[in-house]
Every structure is written in C-alpha cells, then in structure tokens.
C-alpha cells in the first residue's frame, strides 16, 4: 500500500501491539462510555467560569466600557492583549494540520485533531474580545462591508482593524472546514459502531452519509490537500495582519517593521505550548499514551525551543534598533519603560524575557524534552510569558508615549476585565470538554493510515527489510 | 468625527500621538435615557444622574446646538463645528465671504477663543491671507511651530514659542 519506506531507527508513531480494530476501540472508548467523575467536575468548573465571564461582559455592555480601568491614554488593555494571546494560541493547530501535512510529517497524525479543535475554540475565544471591547457593540455589524440602506455607509479599507475582521473570519472558516473534513470518516466510524439511538442519530447526521467508498476517500484526500493549501498561508498571514494593528500606527513600541515575523513565531510558540498542556492531560485521562507518545511530545518541544529562540532574537533586535536608530521616543519606550526593572511595567518585561527566552532553552536537552513534568511546567510558563509579551507591547507602549502631559496613571484591570478573561477560559474548556466527550480526540483514520509503516509491531515485523537488496525491496513493496 | 458611525474601538485614540481624543466611557449626558432609548426592564436600573437629563430644566446645561454623544463613542475637538456652520450661513445671507478676523470682522469665534482672557487663541481661514490666523502666522514665522511635527501627522493647530530675551540671558 505504501511506497514510503521508514527507517527502522525512527521511533514508532504508535506504540504497543495495535491492529486497526484496536485503534478504533482505544480512541472511541471515551465517546462510548459514561464520562468519568473527573470529567463532570472539570466541565462544571468550566461552565462556572464561563458564566462569570458572561456576567462580566453583560455588566460592561449595560453600563459602558467605563467598567474597565481604561483611560484616555490606555485605550486598550486586557481586552486586546487577550485577543492577541488567544489568536496566537490557535496557530499551532493550523501549523500542525496544514504545514506539517504538506511537509509529510507523519507525527502530526497523533496530535492534529485535538490541536485543530484547540485552534477553533481559541479563535472563538479570541473573537469575543474585539467584539465586546467596542463602545457600541450593538453596531458591530458596521464592520461588515455589504450593500446597505445607511447611505450606504461603507467600511474603511485603510483600517488594520478591518483587515483583522477578514483575516480572523477567513481563518476561522478554513480551520473549521479543515477540522470537519478530517472528522468525517471518524464520525462515520462511530455511527457504524453506535449502540444507542442518540448516537446513531447524531453521528448519522454529522457524518454526512460517509460510506467509506473509494470515491469518498479520493474526494476526501483531494479536499484535505486543497484546504491544507488554503490554510498554509493563513498560518503566516493571520498573525501578520494582527501585528499590523500595531505596526502601522505611529506609537513608539508599536511602529515596528519586525512585528509580522515576530508575531507569527510567537503565535506558534504559544500555540505549541497550549497543545502540550492539553495533550499531556488528555493522553493521561483517556489513556492514549500509545498514540501521543514521548516522540510526539519531543517533536513539539523542538518547535517550542526553535520558535522561542526566534522570539528571543526578535526581542534583542528590537532593543538594538531602539539604540541604533537613536530615536529618543523609541529609546524611551524600550530602555526606560520596558528593559528597566524599576519602571512601572518592568516586571512584565522581565517576566516575558524569563518565560519566553530563557526558560525554553532547557529543551536543548533531550532528557528534558522527553520529561513530562518539565514539559507540562514549561507549557504553562510559555503561555504566561506570551501573555506578558502582548501586555508589554500593548500597555507599555501607549501608557507613556510622546507628550508627558498625556501620560496616564498606572493601568491595572478591573474585576470586569479579569472576569472577561477568566470567562474565555471557561468558554474554551467548556468547548474542549464537550469535544473530548463527543468527538474522537485523535484522528482514527489517519492513525490507521500510518499504522502499517510506523506502528511499533509492524516495524518489528519488517525489521529484516534493511538487509534486503534494494531491487528485491522495491519489487516486493511496489505492488 | 462622524459620531453616528463610531463603534468605539478606541483605535484612533491609541494612535493619536497627542492623546487628545476622549471616549464616552459611560452614559454621562443621558443621551441614551431619552424615552424609549433604553428600556430599563432590559438594561437594569439606570443611575439617577442619567434620568436628571430627561428633565427640561437640567437639559439646559447641554448646548442645544450640539449633538449629545452617546456612550461608546469617541470624540474630539470639532473646532466648534456648530459655530462654524452658523457663521457660514451668516456670511451667505449677507452675500459675502466668511470673515475670520479680516479687518477685525468676525463671523464666528470658537468657544475657547471667545473665552480666552488674553486672546491667546486665534481661529480662522488659513486660505485667506488677510484672516486673523494668517496674519498671526506671517507675523510670527520664527516663533510658530507644530507639536510633534516630525511625525508628519500634519495637525491644523500651531503654537508660538515663548518670547525670551536671549541677549540678556547669554550676557
């Protein structure tokens, strides 16, 4: 079936003695049994957090944005910080599903489903912030360019905020389609195994009449490739456009040409950290250690140390350019406000440096990359660091810019801003808990696809292959 | 500013190098409390200060010539657009060009200009070389500057530096 030959020294992607049936059993089990007590506890905590967020936003919309601690100088605080943070987290899912698919990276099969789900939920959470931070959210539809009877009032295509609308909505649409396309064969599998009426009905509808015919597979493969092709530029473009919100402005600390690549690297960095956090819990709770192996975790840690170092270089470049340009405003932003431990927000800058640049360097060591505790701890640290990065960029740039007469008092969030952020965690985990209960958290069909080349037991069976002559090997496996 | 188009993202205020924009963080003026504008069964009980603005007497503190901005809208100095409009109409009725300081004739003065006790503020038509502002600029070429001119945001407001007796200072 496969012309692909995989070296025996590569570690298997699927551990244990698995056949196709065993794969289905392992991954469908969480869907077909009652959720554990732990699942219920987690789910209800998430819903409670979500409700806290709903209350915070409700109160803020009723009263006005004055419920937040923003002021005339700091117009964006936690709201846009959290928007950029969430949207960055989403990027790992798209990178895993699209770019790694095009690069034929077999290890993506174990993690892509959960990572793509994470992308979708993270983008949903991210989308809340630009919507609810509007002063008049009931007029949010003004950002949609469509023929209307209001003049017609047309949108301003010069505004990076409008580019954001297109970038994020395209990203969400493509990610959702991609995720769902991959789900189809797996949903059909659950439908075929279904023993309850609900499951028969629900998975019957959601699997869109998938029969597994060759024609279906052919279209499925073609569509997956097309969507991967569409999603690949999005991995780079979405955060580039988000960075334009800042890069195109005139504020020192925002007006920086390095932002697009720096934001994209940071997005992938934080995204992989979030994937690690989720998958380490998931593989433990659902006993999926055979599918999400140490090899997978190590591969993702390599991405983390790479992107973390890129981000580190970007930070240093920024500092150098602030010095080299001899621009007094830049110098003030970078050397007085940021890289100065004793400035009002110095703690955030040094927190960012420690979490994002210094601590991921531990992953140069193989032992650390394969250590679950270190990985879990680091995944949290990296996401704290990336939150600091967005906060540093947004708040420390605007709170003191050109004219000292316009400088603001120290900005710290109100309970409504904190509640909104906590609420998006609730939204994210509510979605993720529902996903883990009702959808296969690992792409079953794709695991089966790589099982015979990269499964542990199959690798052991074909262990003698390397002593064969090339002609013999080709003759045997080509047909 | 077209207030009725503003959705309140505050992006313009963030980007303003002078930070002169002001946001309506809450419903300060009662603009939203006009009858039926806000149903209190939906939005909850509104602050009494808001309702005060529904009374005819208290509404007299509001300038009847200016739109009352609702909450969630960004605003900035409009150079008293209501006075500008009035002045233009006045000139039009008299069938002549708008006078902003030409031969000491004023069809309009902005509120800050009118109330400034030392006449430090001049507003007018910079396209007319005889207007008050043009004369002021021509007479003070060496003294006038634009704030943060290097950013090239091309503001309409210029300032005059303080007059210093440099010779005495240096001696």
* Chain A CA closest to residue B13: A75
CA-CA distances (angstroms) from residue A309 to A276, B5, B44?
18, 44, 51
Spell out which residues of chain A touch residue B9, defining contact as CB-CB under 8 Å.
130, 133-135, 161
Interface of B with A in 130-159 (CB under 8 A): 147-148, 151, 153
Q: What are phi and psi of B160, to 5 degrees?
A: -115, 135
Per-residue pLDDT tens digits for A298-345:
999 999 999 999 999 999 999 999 999 999 999 999 999 999 999 999
Quick one: DSSP state of residue A103? T
B7 touches chain A (CB under 8 A): yes
A5 touches chain B (CB under 8 A): no
* Chain A CA closest to residue B47: A63
Distance separating alpha carbons of residues A165 and B88, to the nearest angstrom: 40
What is the DSSP pairing of strand B74-75 with strand B22-23?
antiparallel
Choosing among B1, B5, B7, which should be mutated to test the A contact, i.e. which has the most A CBs within 10 A? B7
Choosing among B4, B16, B69, B146, which should be mutated to test the A contact, i.e. which has the most A CBs within 10 A? B16
Spell out which residues of chain B touch residue A76, defining contact as CB-CB under 8 Å.
10-11, 14
Give how far B117 is from chain A: nearest CA, Å.
23
Contact call for B8 and A135, based on CB within 8 A = yes
Interface of A with B in 131-150 (CB under 8 A): 133-137, 139-140, 142-143
pLDDT at position B70 is 83
pTM across the whole model: 0.90
Per-residue pLDDT tens digits for A186-203:
999 999 998 999 999 999
Question: Using 50, 70 and 90 to split pLDDT, how confident is the model at A5?
Answer: low
Contact call for A72 and B26, based on CB within 8 A = no
Beta-bridge mates of residue A14:
A455
Contact call for A251 and B9, based on CB within 8 A = no
A403 touches chain B (CB under 8 A): yes
Whether A363 shows a pLDDT value over 50: the answer reads yes
Whether A76 shows a pLDDT value over 80: the answer reads yes
Distance separating alpha carbons of residues A89 and A275, to the nearest angstrom: 8
Whether A3 shows a pLDDT value over 60: the answer reads no
Whether residue B144 contacts residue B158, with contact meaning beta carbons closer than 8 Å, is answered with: yes
CA-CA distances (angstroms) from residue A318 to A327, A331, A338?
12, 10, 11
Whether B170 shows a pLDDT value over 80: the answer reads no
- H helices of chain B, where? 11-15, 40-43, 48-52, 81-93, 111-115, 132-139, 166-170
What is the average per-residue pLDDT within A202-228? 92
Give how far A174 is from chain B: nearest CA, Å.
26
Give how far A194 is from chain B: nearest CA, Å.
45
pLDDT at position A58 is 93
Interface of B with A in 51-110 (CB under 8 A): 70-74
Beta-bridge mates of residue B144:
B160
Nearest by Cα to A264 from A167, A362, A396: A167
A65 touches chain B (CB under 8 A): yes
Percent of chain B with pLDDT over 70: 87
Whether A105 shows a pLDDT value over 60: the answer reads yes
Question: Using 50, 70 and 90 to split pLDDT, how confident is the model at A1?
Answer: very low
Spell out which residues of chain B touch residue A251, defining contact as CB-CB under 8 Å.
14-15, 17
Per-residue pLDDT tens digits for A352-361:
999 999 999 9
A245 touches chain B (CB under 8 A): yes
């Amino acid at each position: 079936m496969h012309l692909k030959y995989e070296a025996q020294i590569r570690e298997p992607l699927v551990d244990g003695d698995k056949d196709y049936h065993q794969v289905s059993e392992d991954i469908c089990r969480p869907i077909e049994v009652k959720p554990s007590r732990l699942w219920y506890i987690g789910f209800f905590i998430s819903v409670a957090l979500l409700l806290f967020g709903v209350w915070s936003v409700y109160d803020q919309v009723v009263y006005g944005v004055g419920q937040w601690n923003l002021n005339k100088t700091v117009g964006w605080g936690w709201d846009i910080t959290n928007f950029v943070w969430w949207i960055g987290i989403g990027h790992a899912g798209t990178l895993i599903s699209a770019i790694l698919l095009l690069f034929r990276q077999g290890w993506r099969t174990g993690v892509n489903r959960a990572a793509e789900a994470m992308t979708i939920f993270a983008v949903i959470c991210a989308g809340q912030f630009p919507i609810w931070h509007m002063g008049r959210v009931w007029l949010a539809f003004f950002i949609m360019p469509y023929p209307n009877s209001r003049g017609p009032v047309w949108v301003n295509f010069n505004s990076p905020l409008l580019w954001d609308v297109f970038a994020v909505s395209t990203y969400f649409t493509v990610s959702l389609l991609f995720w769902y396309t991959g789900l189809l064969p797996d949903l059909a599998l659950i439908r075929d195994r279904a023993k309850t009426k609900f499951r028969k009905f629900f998975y019957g509808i959601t699997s869109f009449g998938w029969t597994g015919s060759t024609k279906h597979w052919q279209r499925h493969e073609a569509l997956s490739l097309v969507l991967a092709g569409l999603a690949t530029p999005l991995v780079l473009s979405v955060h580039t456009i988000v960075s334009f919100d800042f890069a195109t402005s005139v504020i020192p600390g925002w007006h920086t040409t390095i932002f697009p690549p720096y934001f994209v690297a940071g997005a992938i960095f934080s995204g992989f950290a979030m994937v690690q956090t989720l998958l380490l819990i998931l593989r433990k709770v659902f006993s999926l250690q055979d599918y999400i192996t140490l090899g997978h975790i190590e591969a993702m840690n390599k991405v983390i140390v790479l992107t973390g170092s890129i981000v580190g270089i970007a930070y240093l470049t920024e500092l150098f350019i602030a010095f080299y340009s001899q621009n007094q405003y830049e110098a003030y932003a970078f050397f007085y406000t940021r890289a100065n431990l004793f400035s009002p927000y110095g703690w955030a800058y040094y927190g960012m440096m420690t979490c994002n640049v210094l601590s991921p360097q531990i992953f140069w060591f193989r032992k650390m990359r394969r250590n679950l505790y270190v990985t879990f701890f680091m995944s949290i640290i990296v996401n704290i660091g990336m939150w600091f990065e967005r906060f540093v960029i947004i708040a420390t740039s605007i709170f003191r810019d050109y004219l000292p007469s316009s400088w603001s008092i120290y900005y710290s969030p109100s309970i409504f801003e904190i509640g909104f952020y906590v609420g998006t965690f609730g939204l994210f985990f509510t979605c993720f808990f529902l996903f883990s209960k009702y959808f296969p958290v690992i792409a079953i069909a794709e695991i089966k696809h790589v099982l015979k080349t990269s499964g542990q037991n199959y690798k052991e069976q074909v262990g003698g292959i390397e002593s064969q002559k090339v002609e013999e090997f080709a003759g045997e496996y080509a047909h | 500013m077209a207030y009725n188009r503003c959705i309140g993202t505050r992006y313009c205020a963030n980007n303003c190098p002078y930070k002169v924009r002001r946001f309506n963080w809450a419903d300060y003026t009662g603009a939203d409390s006009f009858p039926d504008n806000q149903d209190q069964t939906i939005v909850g009980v509104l602050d009494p200060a808001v309702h005060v603005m529904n009374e005819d007497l208290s509404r007299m503190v509001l300038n009847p010539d200016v739109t009352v901005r609702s909450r969630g809208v960004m605003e900035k100095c409009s150079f008293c657009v209501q006075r500008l409009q009035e002045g233009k109409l006045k000139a039009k009725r008299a069938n002549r060009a708008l006078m902003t300081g030409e031969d000491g004739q004023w069809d309009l003065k902005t509120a800050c200009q009118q109330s400034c006790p030392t006449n430090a503020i001049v507003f007018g038509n910079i396209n007319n070389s005889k207007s008050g502002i043009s004369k002021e600029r021509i007479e003070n070429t060496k003294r006038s500057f634009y704030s943060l001119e290097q950013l090239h945001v091309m503001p309409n407001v210029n300032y005059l530096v303080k007059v210093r007796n440099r010779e005495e200072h240096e001696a």
